Amino acid sequence: MADGTDTKSSNQMWGGRFASGPAAIMEEINASIGFDKKLFAQDIRGSIAHAGMLAHQGIISTEDKDKIVHGLNTILSEIESGNFEFSRRLEDIHMNVEARLATLIGPAAGRLHTARSRNDQVALDFRLWVKEELQKCEQALTELMSAFLDRAEEHADSVMPGFTHLQTAQPVTFGHHCMAYVEMFGRDRSRVRHAIEHMDESPIGAAALAGTGFPIDRHMTAKALGFREPTRNSIDTVSDRDFALEFLSIAAIAGMHLSRLAEEIVIWSTPQFGFVRLSDAFSTGSSIMPQKKNPDAAELVRAKTGRINGSLVALLTIMKGLPLAYSKDMQEDKEQVFDAAESLELAIAAMTGMVRDMTINTARMKAAAGSGYSTATDLADWLVREAGLPFRDAHHVTGRAVALAESKSCDLAELSLEELQAIHPAITAKIFDVLTVEASVASRKSYGGTAPSEVRKQIAFWRARN
């Protein structure tokens, strides 16, 4: 070589994995078939629709179209049966399919790529895949919500402590707590539905970035592929990955909700809380501590959120500096989405199983609901409602009652009437009607409150929508 280095030392610089030097490195970094082969069904589906449109418009012959469709269906069968050999040399799923099609049907295969580019082809394949994944996600969220609705109905009257700052706040019902997650996952499902609506446009026909001079019918291919309409700007079409980012955003928010639930299950299943018990199907033991029963499924759901968040940040970072239109950077979009989709699908399924599987210790929950002077607010509300005190004065009186109960190591309901009247003379024996946890939750009848009657109304509302 002119600079005095020989081929052997040059190859050593590239490393043993790339024995043939720069060409091997380029093949390694350029090839996407290792992951985008997941799009084979969408790629073939898009090509069949495109071929049908080309024939309908007289751009290719019906005979060539029939050969192309037959060949593509043969390739689909080969891939599905595991008899298709993918080649890294051919870079991606599009070229692998096209090369095999040429082998099967000859020169007619070359007509398939008329009036399209790999740029709009990959945009189509990826969009189809994400749309299908969103539809799966919608169904999975519906099943998770259904599991919560069943548990809420079962435990509309079951009292438990409500928390703020993870400190006992006010008594609620377990059914009401379950319905909080129905609301959360309902918003996730709504975001999924909106995302499907946003992305329901067909990219095929945008070609490389400027459209095509062939007399194609993009509305025909959009309809054939189940899209509402074609995209309206060819530059944006091949540049856009908003649909993937929106999917990852939805996945990250849903993952966060799943993680919060997972954390509660982890806490609730500890001996210190003992609110729920998971079966062996969703737990593991310890290799050295026979008494342990670890909520591993919940912990792994909690961890999956980190992977999903990472995928969102990765794709945002990939896209943030790209000029219009297509850049090769966008090849790095798919692995992030594939991984997040797999993580989210598994996490929702695991959580649905845990919600249906867990045993609820209602006695333990009820005992805990009365701890920490959780009915103190009920005492203050009674003083406002029955004795006419301003709330701030009632708050002060209640604080004195809590301090007295603490000094006597008893609950508020265990204080005598005389002791309470010594704090404020307006207190009567009727106060004891509101100091139990059952009375507390029953009184919270405001719309969306924890009263069992309100919980059942919300269950009925969501049953009608689910």
Is residue 359 located within the same domain as residue 377?
no
Regarding whether 200 and 74 lie in a shared domain, the answer is no
Same domain assignment for residues 199 and 302: yes
pLDDT in tens, 386-412: 888 898 988 998 889 889 888 888 888
Give the chain's domain count. 3
Active site residue 50: no
Q: Kindly state the average pLDDT of the residues 46-56.
A: 98
Same-domain check for residues 375 and 327 = no
Confidence (pLDDT) at 436: 82
Asked if 83 and 69 sit in the same domain, the reply is yes
Tell me: pLDDT of 364 over 90: yes
> Would you say the pTM of this structure is higher than 0.95?
no
Q: What confidence tens digit (pLDDT) does each residue in 423-442 have?
A: 888 888 888 888 888 888 98
pLDDT for res 9: 40
- Among 59-68, 202-211, 300-309, 437-446, the least confident range: 437-446
Q: Is residue 3 part of a domain?
A: no
pLDDT digits (tens, 9 = 90+) for 166-202: 888 788 999 999 999 999 999 999 999 999 999 999 9
> Which domain covers residue 452, as residue numbers?
368-464
Per-residue confidence (pLDDT) for residue 411, from 0 to 100: 80
Question: Do 199 and 300 share a domain, yes or no?
Answer: yes
Same domain, 196 and 339: yes
Mean pLDDT in residue range 19-47:
82
Q: Which percentage of the chain shows pLDDT scores above 90?
A: 68
Q: Does 12 reside within a domain? A: no
Q: What is the 3-state secondary structure (H, E, C) of the chain?
A: CCCCCCHHHHHHHHCCCCCCCHHHHHHHHHCCHHHHHHHHHHHHHHHHHHHHHHHHCCCCCHHHHHHHHHHHHHHHHHHHCCCCCCCHHHCCHHHHHHHHHHHHHHHHHHHCCCCCCHHHHHHHHHHHHHHHHHHHHHHHHHHHHHHHHHHHHHCCCCEEEEEECCEEEEEEEHHHHHHHHHHHHHHHHHHHHHHHHHCCEECCCCCCCCCCCCCCCHHHHHHHCCCCEECCCHHHHHHCCHHHHHHHHHHHHHHHHHHHHHHHHHHHCCCCCCCEECCHHHCECCCCCCCCCECHHHHHHHHHHHHHHHHHHHHHHHHCCCCCCCCHHHHHHHHHHHHHHHHHHHHHHHHHHHHHHCEECHHHHHHHHCHHHCCHHHHHHHHHHHHCCCHHHHHHHHHHHHHHHHHHCCCHHHCCHHHHHHHCCCCCHHHHHCCCHHHHHHHCCCCCCCCHHHHHHHHHHHHHHC
Active site residue 311: no
Question: Which of 366, 400, 431 is the last residue before a domain boundary?
Answer: 366
The reply to whether 318 falls in a domain is yes
Boundary-marking domain end, from 77, 95, 111: 111
Same domain flag for 187 and 324: yes
The residue from 20, 87, 279, 286 that is catalytic is 286
Active-site annotation holder among 165, 287, 409, 416: 165
The enclosing domain of 43 has a CATH number of: 1.10.275.10
Which tops the pLDDT comparison, 69 or 399? 69
Shared domain for 321 and 178, answered yes or no, is: yes
Digit-coded pLDDT (tens) for 311-345? 999 999 999 999 999 999 899 999 999 999 999 99
Q: Is 65 part of any domain?
A: yes
